[in-house]
């Protein structure tokens, strides 16, 4: 394996923090994956009766007060709570105390499709009922997407590079890629990177229901998210967050950090085609994969496993298959591929970060999760999609794909820690 070339600084994942519908924290997430059960249920957060779709992957037991002090729980909306809690869990997993670090060399990169829009939606109802005096004073500080990275920075004193991108469902992966490049290029030594999404409110949910992007398998929610299955009928909205601690490899090893995986490359581009439909032949997404491999100084044949975006929409899954075949050529048939959104739905901008975390853990622990609900394979989705029990394998290199509305494509290349 060629890996990071030209004497570039190497970047490793030393900690993972996550809040997902299938589990919180590394062990909670891993146990949820091993259980091979979907977290999709009928919506309880609000009355979904007006919508064609009435299911979601909600967080079943998230209590911010379990992780944050009373002020933090009260001051932050759900979106920022999820971001800060995931960062706290990631730092604990990395055994990293930022108080002992040069915090000008510690940064934060986050991604979110909607940011605090759902909180603004609830406040709009308050305003209609009570007027200006009824509004939560934190509204102006919560609604913008950058609240995620800024609140993490404030919570942990990280004064280095800081940004939250809003590039739809590829946001989390783009954030991880940007953080990777910041360390590799010498602009930082430690980065907290990931995504957070809290979209389960009537207007946010209804907007996606209106364009018929979501599954209507309301009578059988656990089987609704079914990537690459012939009977898939749309994605299932979810919520959650994930943050990865990325460090320059030499300093991580020097402090005895628990290295989970190494990041080798990242890329992003755009279809420049349509706001909801991917470029039909998959060539733009394929180009993104190729750019990520070039960034990692790897040949396509060196990749063993792909954690697919696999949104469970008719167009995306077919196009992603075309993209993988185009990017990998004849090697595509030898790749093991998983689409893991059957577990936790599609938490929009957080999904790429959650899937990067899953990919890193799969490399470290030697088990590749299955594609849940893959019962009748679509003839147009003809790769080696893992189903059933998953697979006990020790891949050396993996690719994690993320694609989003607006034609956004992102790809991350990770390797097992050596």
Which is the catalytic residue, given 204, 288, 309, 381? 309
382: Cα within 13 Å, side-chain hemisphere: 7
* Residue 346 designated active-site: yes
Quote the Cα angle for 26-404-154, to 5°: 50
Q: Is 1 exposed, middle or buried (0-12, 13-18, 19+ CB in 10 A)?
A: middle
For 86, phi then psi, to 5°, come to: -60, -40
Tell me which of 18, 150, 346, 381 is the catalytic residue. Answer: 346
Sequence-distant (6+) residues with CB within 8 A of 215 are 53, 55, 224, 225, 232, 233, 234, 235, 236, 312
- Residues paired with residue 27 on neighbouring β-strands, in sequence order: none
377: CB partners within 8 A, 6+ apart: 228, 229, 230, 385
Contacts within 8 Å (CB) and 24+ apart, 127-133: none
Count the Cβ atoms, other than its own, within 10 Å of residue 389: 11
Q: Residue 128 CB: number of other CB atoms within 10 A?
A: 9
**Is 274 marked active-site?**
no
**What's the half-sphere exposure (Cβ side, CA atoms, 13 Å) at 44?**
7
Beta strands in 229-366 (DSSP E): 240-248, 261-270, 305-308, 336-339
C-beta neighbour count of 135 within 10 angstroms: 14
CA angle 82, 86, 88 (to 5 degrees): 120
Do 176 and 116 contact (CB within 8 A), yes or no?
no
**Rg for the chain (alpha carbons), in Å?**
20
**Pick the catalytic residue: 18, 169, 204, 381?**
169
Beta bridge partners of 248: 11
| Phi, psi dihedral angles at 158 (to 5 degrees) | -85, 110
Active site residues: 169, 309, 346
């Amino acid at each position: 394996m060629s890996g990071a070339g030209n004497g570039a600084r190497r970047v490793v994942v030393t900690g993972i923090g996550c809040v997902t519908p299938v589990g919180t924290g590394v062990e909670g997430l891993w146990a949820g994956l091993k259980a091979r059960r979907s977290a999709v249920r009928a919506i309880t957060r609000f009355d979904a009766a007006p919508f064609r779709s009435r299911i979601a992957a909600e967080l079943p037991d998230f209590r911010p007060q379990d992780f944050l002090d009373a002020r933090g729980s009260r001051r932050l909306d759900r979106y920022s709570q999820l971001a800060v809690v995931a960062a706290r869990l990631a730092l604990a997993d990395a055994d990293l105390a930022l108080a002992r670090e040069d915090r000008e060399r510690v940064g934060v990169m986050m991604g979110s499709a909607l940011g605090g829009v759902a909180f603004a939606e609830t406040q709009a109802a308050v305003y209609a009922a009570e007027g200006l005096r009824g509004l939560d004073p934190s509204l102006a500080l919560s609604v913008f997407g950058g609240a995620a990275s800024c609140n993490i920075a404030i919570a942990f004193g990280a004064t280095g590079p800081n940004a939250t991108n809003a590039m739809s469902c590829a946001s989390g992966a783009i954030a991880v890629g940007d953080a990777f490049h910041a360390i590799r290029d010498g602009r930082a030594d430690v980065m907290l990177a990931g995504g957070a999404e809290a979209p389960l409110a009537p207007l946010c949910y209804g907007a996606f229901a209106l364009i018929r992007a979501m599954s209507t398998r309301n009578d059988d929610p656990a089987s609704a998210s079914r990537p690459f299955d012939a009977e898939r009928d749309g994605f299932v909205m979810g919520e959650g967050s994930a943050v990865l601690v990325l460090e320059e490899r030499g300093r991580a090893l020097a402090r005895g950090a628990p290295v989970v995986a190494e990041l080798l490359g990242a890329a992003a581009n755009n279809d420049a085609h349509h706001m909801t439909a991917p470029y039909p032949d998959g060539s733009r997404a394929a180009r993104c994969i190729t750019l990520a491999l070039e960034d990692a100084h790897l040949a396509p044949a060196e990749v063993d496993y792909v954690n697919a975006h696999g949104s469970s929409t008719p167009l995306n899954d077919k196009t992603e298959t075309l993209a993988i075949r185009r990017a990998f050529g004849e090697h595509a048939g030898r790749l093991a591929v998983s689409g893991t959104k059957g577990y936790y739905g599609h938490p929009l901008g957080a999904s790429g970060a959650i899937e990067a975390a899953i990919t890193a853990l799969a490399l470290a622990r030697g088990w590749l999760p299955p594609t849940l609900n893959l019962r009748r394979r679509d003839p147009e989705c003809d790769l080696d999609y893992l189903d059933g029990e998953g697979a006990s394998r020790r891949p050396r290199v993996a690719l994690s794909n993320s694609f989003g509305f607006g034609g956004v494509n992102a790809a991350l290349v990770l390797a097992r820690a050596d």
